Chains A and B, each alone.
Chain A
Amino acid sequence: MTEALTHTDFKSDIKPVWCPGCGDFGVVNALTKALAKMELRPENVAVVSGIGCSSRIPAYTSCYGFHGVHGRALAAGTGLKIARPDLTVIVTGGDGDGYSIGGNHFLHACRRNVDMTYIVMDNRVYGMTKGQPSPTTEPDWDSKLSPDGTGLREFHPMVIALSSGANFIARAFTGDPNGLADVIVQAVRHPGFSFVEVLSPCVTFRPEQRDWKKIVKPDAIKPTSDIARAARRMLRDTGFDLGVLYAGNRKPYAPRGERANRDASVLEARFTL
């Protein structure tokens, strides 16, 4: 019998270089706890990311990892899951990587509904590049790089995910790593594309986000499989309401019969002149 692993078995020996106080520490904590709870093995899990502070996560786990191209984590994750459906694929990244550079991939990953989990660490700022406003930054956030704010309406990831076809949608807070671990477990176990929006403070460029722990509303959202009900719930969303919004029943994407598990040499033959 294989001995059960603990969350520390899912951590690598590489120490995170994030700023002390960063919310992303709580995500590593929660992710590794979730993987241990599901009794997975590191060799059966792939953590895929794009670019940005939060996209360093694959290096901090002992799972297979792919630190990819900016905004293209979902494309890489989709390809991996289709090629290796036996793997548990977890795609990670930040709000800039996922909603701006990778915004189009986000829409189509929701639409395709491949069985994988996307965890976005949303701090409403580009942290790695010194604090530019991101798609989720408030329009009136005044900073040296955006005097008087951008004046632009925020991107609403959960609404976009719902309208684009994601099969599981939740929002969690990194200040509650144990609660976040439970949400990740639900997300991974739910068939299809699962999207977890994680409020993850950037204490360096958005020090006011240290107060998020006083603002978030745990269990404010109740899960439903009724898409209309979930959409109505979003109309009164404060941005700090936590919980599972939607757990749908859409069948996950899978390659059709003869196209599945095709050997690379067969494909190659089709392109031979």
Chain B
Amino acid sequence: MKRKLPRTVQEFMAYAWAMEVEAAERYAELADQMNTHHNREVSELFAKLARIEGKHRDQIMAQMGWTRAPDTSSFRWETPEGPETTDYSELHYLMQPYHALKLAEHNERRAAEFFERFAAANLPADVRAAAAEMAEDEREHVRLIEDWLARYPEPEAGWDEDPDPPAVAD
């Protein structure tokens, strides 16, 4: 996010919370998109990722003792969307779990880099410590997704070729 750097742990964790909210909502949307196009396997995978990000969101709420969502209305990401949010344009209706997990891996790496920048910034020590902890969490997520990816070999070229392409969705 730009314009305003967090000066307190409360503010910093509100950023982290906003990131998880956006990521969870997007994964849920992507699951719906895949379900609409009868790609059940990838739909279930995105739904699982949505649940995982939702759990992270709830963990932040519990950790901070918040009973209501923090005010993030003045926040702006440095990038068009949050670092853990999948770009809509990355999807394809024939995509396979490998592709979905590669997107998730990319998101987790960006999230780790995002927190690493805060950990290295000129910020109060407690904010930098919280950022370092969040960065380590995200690096752990990268490792988990790498393990998950090992179960899915990279699809061969031509995976996106459809002999009977849908021209209209309905």
A and B interact: yes
Chain A residues in contact with chain B, CB under 8 A?
A: 8, 15-23, 25-26, 29, 37, 53, 128-131, 174-179, 201, 203-204, 210, 213
If A20-B37, A25-B33 touch, whether A130 touches B88 (CB-CB below 8 Å) is no
> Are the C-beta atoms of B169 and A130 separated by less than 8 Å?
no
With both chains docked as a complex, state the minimum distance between the C-beta of B85 and any C-beta of chain A, in angstroms. Answer: 9
Chain B residues in contact with chain A, CB under 8 A?
A: 25, 29-30, 32-37, 73, 76-77, 80-81, 87-93, 95, 165-170
> Are the C-beta atoms of A175 and B33 separated by less than 8 Å?
no
Question: Which listed residue (A22, A176, A210) contacts B81, Cβ 8 A?
Answer: A176
Question: Which listed residue (B93, B95, B165, B168) contacts A128, Cβ 8 A?
Answer: B168
Chain B neighbourhood of A29, CB < 8 A: 29
* Interface contacts beyond A20-B91, A175-B89: sample of 15 additional A-B pairs, CB < 8 Å, sorted by A: A15-B32, A15-B35, A16-B33, A17-B170, A20-B30, A20-B92, A20-B93, A20-B95, A22-B88, A25-B29, A174-B88, A178-B81, A179-B80, A203-B89, A204-B165
> Are the C-beta atoms of A21 and B168 separated by less than 8 Å?
no
Q: How far is the CA of A201 from the CA of B91 in the complex (A)?
A: 12
If A17-B36, A20-B93, A178-B81 touch, whether A25 touches B88 (CB-CB below 8 Å) is yes
Chain B neighbourhood of A37, CB < 8 A: 73
> Are the C-beta atoms of B169 and A175 separated by less than 8 Å?
no
Question: Which listed residue (B34, B77, B80, B167) contacts A20, Cβ 8 A?
Answer: B34
> Are the C-beta atoms of A23 and B89 separated by less than 8 Å?
yes
> Are the C-beta atoms of B169 and A18 separated by less than 8 Å?
yes
> Are the C-beta atoms of B80 and A130 separated by less than 8 Å?
no
Question: Which listed residue (A21, A128, A129, A204) contacts B88, Cβ 8 A?
Answer: A21
What would 6 A/B residue contacts be, using CB atoms closer than 8 Å?
A19-B37, A19-B93, A20-B92, A178-B80, A178-B81, A204-B167
> Are the C-beta atoms of A177 and B36 separated by less than 8 Å?
no
If A25-B88, A130-B168, A210-B89 touch, whether A20 touches B81 (CB-CB below 8 Å) is no
Q: How far is the CA of A257 from the CA of B37 in the complex (A)?
A: 53
Q: How far is the CA of A174 from the CA of B166 in the complex (A)?
A: 23
> Are the C-beta atoms of B80 and A16 separated by less than 8 Å?
no
With both chains docked as a complex, state the minimum distance between the C-beta of A24 and any C-beta of chain B, in angstroms. Answer: 9
The A interface, classified by DSSP as helix, strand, loop or mixed, is loop
Question: Which listed residue (A16, A23, A175, A176) contacts B36, Cβ 8 A?
Answer: A16
Q: How far is the CA of A16 from the CA of B32 in the complex (A)?
A: 8
**Which of A17, A19, A210 has the most CB atoms of chain B within a 10 A radius of its CB?**
A19
With both chains docked as a complex, state the minimum distance between the C-beta of B103 and any C-beta of chain A, in angstroms. Answer: 12
Chain A neighbourhood of B91, CB < 8 A: 20-21
Which chain B residue lies CB-closest to A180? Answer: B80
Q: How far is the CA of A18 from the CA of B91 in the complex (A)?
A: 12
> Are the C-beta atoms of A15 and B36 separated by less than 8 Å?
yes
Chain A neighbourhood of B73, CB < 8 A: 37
> Are the C-beta atoms of B92 and A130 separated by less than 8 Å?
no
With both chains docked as a complex, state the minimum distance between the C-beta of B79 and any C-beta of chain A, in angstroms. Answer: 9
Chain A neighbourhood of B33, CB < 8 A: 15-16, 18, 20, 25
With both chains docked as a complex, state the minimum distance between the C-beta of B14 and any C-beta of chain A, in angstroms. Answer: 16
If A15-B32, A18-B169, A178-B76 touch, whether A213 touches B81 (CB-CB below 8 Å) is no
Q: How far is the CA of A25 from the CA of B88 in the complex (A)?
A: 7
Question: Which listed residue (B77, B88, B165, B168) contacts A26, Cβ 8 A?
Answer: B88
Chain B neighbourhood of A177, CB < 8 A: 80-81
Chain B neighbourhood of A130, CB < 8 A: 167-168
> Are the C-beta atoms of A23 and B170 separated by less than 8 Å?
no
Q: How far is the CA of A258 from the CA of B91 in the complex (A)?
A: 54
> Are the C-beta atoms of B89 and A21 separated by less than 8 Å?
yes
**Which of B34, B77, B87, B168 has the most CB atoms of chain A within a 10 A radius of its CB?**
B168
